[in-house]
Amino acid sequence: MDYLVVYTSNTGNTQKVAMRIFETLPGKSKDIVSLEELHGEEADTYFVGFWNNRGTCKTEVLDFLSDLHGKRVALFGTCGLSGNKEYYKQVEKQVAVFLPDDNEYLGCFLCGGKMAPQILEKYRQMQAIHDTPQIRTLISAYEDGMLHPNQQDFKDAEEFVKSVLKE
């Protein structure tokens, strides 16, 4: 198989981006599967998707990446803190480091995504105790995340795929 899109998704955001990436990939020698349903499928090029959790991803994704050898690998994911390029770079670095050196790393695409409602509740409780600019920023990021992934994010994901395939 030429391409395999493998992803984890907590709230459905990453799954939506995974579908757009899959649709953008050329040809018929491709598949898409959640990491939890992966059963030995292999490909030359992997697009591995994850949802950001405190600057990284689930251990299962890191283990999967660590087991890949001699492949072309691109990462993608969704983050509650949308649009923060510096944070995106930190997340990419935290995840990509688990990819063995015998792989060809193709880059990373990250975009915003909705967060679980409990997170906003946690932020509101923190704000009730001590209202700080940092907590207000987190609440604002949560509210902005409710608008993602959006059509621009999907277009950016398509452009990412096209740029990866040109290399």
**pLDDT in the model for residue 47:** 98
Query: Left (φ > 0), alpha (ψ -120 to 50) or beta: where does 67 sit?
Result: alpha
Q: How many degrees, rounded to 5, is the angle at CA 16 between CA 14 and CA 75? A: 45
Mean pLDDT of 30-38: 96
Over pLDDT 70: what percentage of the chain?
A: 98
CA distance 127 to 33: 39
Q: How many CB atoms lie within 10 A of CB 144?
A: 14
Q: Which helix (H) or strand (E) holds 2?
A: none
**pLDDT in the model for residue 48:** 98
The domains found in the chain, sorted by start residue, are 3-113+148-166 (3.40.50.360), 115-147 (no CATH)
Residue pLDDT, tens place only, 79-107:
876 667 888 999 999 999 999 999 999 99
Residue pLDDT, tens place only, 137-161:
888 888 887 888 999 999 999 999 9
User: Which one is predicted more confidently, 37 or 138?
Assistant: 37
Secondary structure string (H, E, C) spanning 33-88: EEHHHCCCCCCCEEEEEEECECCECCHHHHHHHHHCCCCEEEEEEEECCCCCHHHH
Helices (H), 84-116: 85-96
* Residue 117 reports pLDDT greater than 80: yes
**pLDDT in the model for residue 80:** 79
Q: Is the pTM of this model over 0.85?
A: yes
**pLDDT in the model for residue 83:** 67
pLDDT-derived band at 57, boundaries 50, 70, 90: very high
